[in-house]
Structure formats: structure tokens, C-alpha cells
Structure 1
Amino acid sequence: MERAEFAERIDHTVLGPETTWADVEAVLDAAETHGMNACIPPCYVAEAADYAPDVRLVTVAAFPHGQAAPRAKEFEAERAWKDDADELDVVVNPGRLHAGDTDAVAEELERVVAAVPMPVKVIVEAPLLSALELRTVCEIAEEAGAAFVKTATGFAEGGGANVADVRIMSEYLPVKASGGIGTFEEAVAMLDAGAERIGASAGVGIVEAFDPSVFE
């Protein structure tokens, strides 16, 4: 794998609650310089599309807890598309999964995927799920037409991405590993486990540490 191909797999991310436009601007600049994508809050997508038209823009819906009403998730998806986002990461409702209300989870994901003509990644919040729940939500995401499943928001208790979860998830759909990935070595471990994309606020450091010999 060449550095450019590796960088294209990184969603350089800024999603904290105090994120300013200046923070987003810095992420966009870094993404453009290093050939990465940018994952930013929905309130800045329209500005970002004007500021960095060549950067693939990823944004989020129902972030970080996933407990918005289904119509609200659908509206967020539509708004993101109208604001020129390229991809959407939507958070599933873990409470519904824990309660076994899989029909409700399936219905809302189907609505979100159908609402927009762009790739939708389903953030499953794997650290909060049992192995059975993880497989169940991956099956639901696959049947709903999602493009990816994503490990975590990074905001929930219990951690973020881990190799075991990525291996399970990759049986169903392409995986975006996200949550706690701070080094090149950690990113490579996720790719080796089956991830296709990496979400990280440390994108610059990860790309700058790229070592082609690892992929020989």
C-alpha cells in the first residue's frame, strides 16, 4: 500500500462538544495537505464544502448517543446531503438494541439510508454491546443498505475500536474503525483485522508515521 492510498482511508476527525470553526478549518487544511477525508460536526458542513471542495466530507447524525427520534435522524441525513456532505455516520440506538427492539432499529436505519444518495455508515457503539447484539446490529445495517458499519463514537464508556469487534463486523460490511486509535501501529492493527477506514483525531500523526514496509 502506498502512502496516498493509506491516507485516503483516514477520516481525520474533530467532533468534540466545543469544536469551533477554527478547529474545523485546521482539520480541513490537514486533510487536504495529507490526502485524508475530514469528519466534522453537521453545523459546519456547508461552510466546509465551500472552504475545502476537494476534501471528502463526512459528518454525523444522532451523535453521540443515537437516541434522536427516527424522523430527526432522517432530517439530519437530508440536511447533511443538502449541505454537500459526501458521507454520513449515523449512531444506532443502543437502548433499543438492549431491549431487543430490533424492528425499531431496522426501521430507522432503513429510513436514514433511503433518505440520501450518499454512503451511510452505521455507528454501532460496539463497546456497549454483547457479541450477539453486535452481530444483530451488523445484520440489520447490512439489510438496511448501509455502506459501512463503524465501531464507536469514542464518547461512550467502555472504549472504542478493538480488533475482536472489527473482525466480527467485517463479516457483514466494510468497517470503519473509530475510537481511541492514536498511532500508525494501532491503525494498521485495525486494517489487518479487516477495517477499510479509520476514524481518528490523530490523523496527521498516523499518516506522517506511514511505513510502507509494513504492507510489503
Structure 2
Amino acid sequence: MSEINSYIDHTLLKQDATRQQILDLCLEAKKYNFATVCINPSWIETAYEQLRGTDVGVCTVIGFPLGATLSSVKAFETNAAIEAGASEVDMVINIGALKDKQDELVLNDIKAVVDAALSVPVKVILETCLLNDEEIIRACKLCEKAGARFVKTSTGFSTGGATLDHVKLMKSSVSEKVLVKASGGVRDLAAAKEMIAAGANRLGTSSGIKIINGEVSDSY
């Protein structure tokens, strides 16, 4: 097994995910020693109980997948998620506000989650498929200013996922203090290696096992 496993957030965010599927996800994450499982907030306690005492973290999503909820709600959701056992949170920015150049609103929205998370790492999902290069750069700068630990490409629920060009652009738009997560469409080992070479420090994918085993997945 390659060290690439340590890059992977083993992801199941489908709205029809069952308890058994979450349990299976956790068993797989333990077997392959992935970085985290990434799940919806209602499954945090289940995952936390399964992964307690292991090196696998529990990552959850905030304001997902649209990012258009109130900042106060995102902050409340973050606090509740951490109390339930989340060790990382992936929030979605207010995309419309970014496109409207309401940078102060976007900054404060991210900062509300960062402040609520305290020492828990915050990854900020930009949904790059909906943004032009200028918007991606501006979003990355705002994320770093707000104290986010990662900038992340995608939810996997919009019109596209991670691209090499976007990962490179994001990496070049932040300092070394901020990491990059590529998410959406990373389906095989070759793609995973390309994303890492482009600057990704973490990979969000439901294809982690196939990636590790050198297979190609048809899932997103």
C-alpha cells in the first residue's frame, strides 16, 4: 500500500447513505489508514465511536452543499459538529457573495466557522467549477486572511470537480501555511498522483480503495 493513503479523506456524502454504509466506510478507513472519513453531520457520532483510538479522523461538512445559509447557522453547525466528535470541518463559502464582490461578507462568513472551530482545522470549499480565475484567487486570499487551514476545490455536487489547473492556481494563491484539498472526480491512482504533484495536500474521494489498489472507479 502506497503512502498515498495518508492523503485521502474517504468520503460518503450521499443523502441516502445508510448506517451500514457509514460503518463500512469506517472499517475501510481503518483498514487502509486513510486520513479521515468525510461524512454528513448526522453521522459524526457513529463514525467517532467506530474510529475512536485510531489515527483516522472524522471530517464533516458545514453549509453543505450550497454554502448559502446564514453565517450564524454555519457557526452553530460547526460547534455542534465538534461537540459530536468531528476533528476536521469542510465548509462551503457563500459563492454568490464572492461573485458579487462582497468580500467582507465572505471573509466574515469563513471567519465565523474558523472562530467556532477553535483549534479544529477548517477546509473551505470554493466550488471552483462556478468561479473564474480571479474569483478563485480572491477566495483563496480571503480564506487565508480568515485563518482557514485548507482551501478545497469542490463539493462534488455541482457542475464539476477538481482540475489540475485549479489546484495549481489555488496553491499559488496562498502561502505555505494554507494547504490545498482536491475533491471531486479523483477516481484512480494516476489522477491522484497528478493532483498531489500539482500541489494537493489532501484528496477528497469516494474512490480511495480503488486508488490504493491501482484500479479505476466510475464513481465521483
Return the letter of the residue paired with 2:155: T
Counterpart of 1:115?
Answer: 116
Matches within 5 A, 1:68-79: 68-79=69-80
Kindly state the Cα deviation for residue 106 of structure 1 after the two structures are TM-superposed. Answer: 0.3
What CA RMSD, in Å, does the superposition of the two structures yield over aligned residues? 1.1
Counterpart of 2:4?
Answer: 6
Aligned to 2:201, the other structure's residue is in SS state strand
Alpha carbons 2:155, 2:183 under 8 Å: kept: yes
Q: Does 1:136 align with 2:134?
A: no
Structure 1 unmatched runs, 5+: 211-216
Counterpart of 1:40?
Answer: 39
Matches within 5 A, 1:158-177: 159-171=160-172, 172=174, 173-177=178-182
Counterpart of 1:106?
Answer: 107
Task: State the TM-score, normalized to the length of structure 1.
Answer: 0.93
Higher RCO (C-alpha 8 Å, min separation 6): 1
Q: Report how many aligned residue pairs link the two structures.
A: 207
Matches within 5 A, 1:16-35: 16-35=14-33
Q: Does 1:185 align with 2:186?
A: no
Task: State the TM-score, normalized to the length of structure 2.
Answer: 0.91
Aligned to 1:182, the other structure's residue is in SS state coil
Return the letter of the residue paired with 1:71: S
Runs of 4+ off more than 4 Å: none
Kindly state the Cα deviation for residue 52 of structure 1 after the two structures are TM-superposed. Answer: 1.8
Q: Does 1:201 align with 2:203?
A: no
| Mapped partners of 2:82, 2:59: distance in 1 | 10
Q: Identity rate of aligned residues, in percent?
A: 36
| Mapped partners of 1:107, 1:60: distance in 2 | 18
Alpha carbons 2:155, 2:161 under 8 Å: kept: yes
| Mapped partners of 2:47, 2:73: distance in 1 | 22
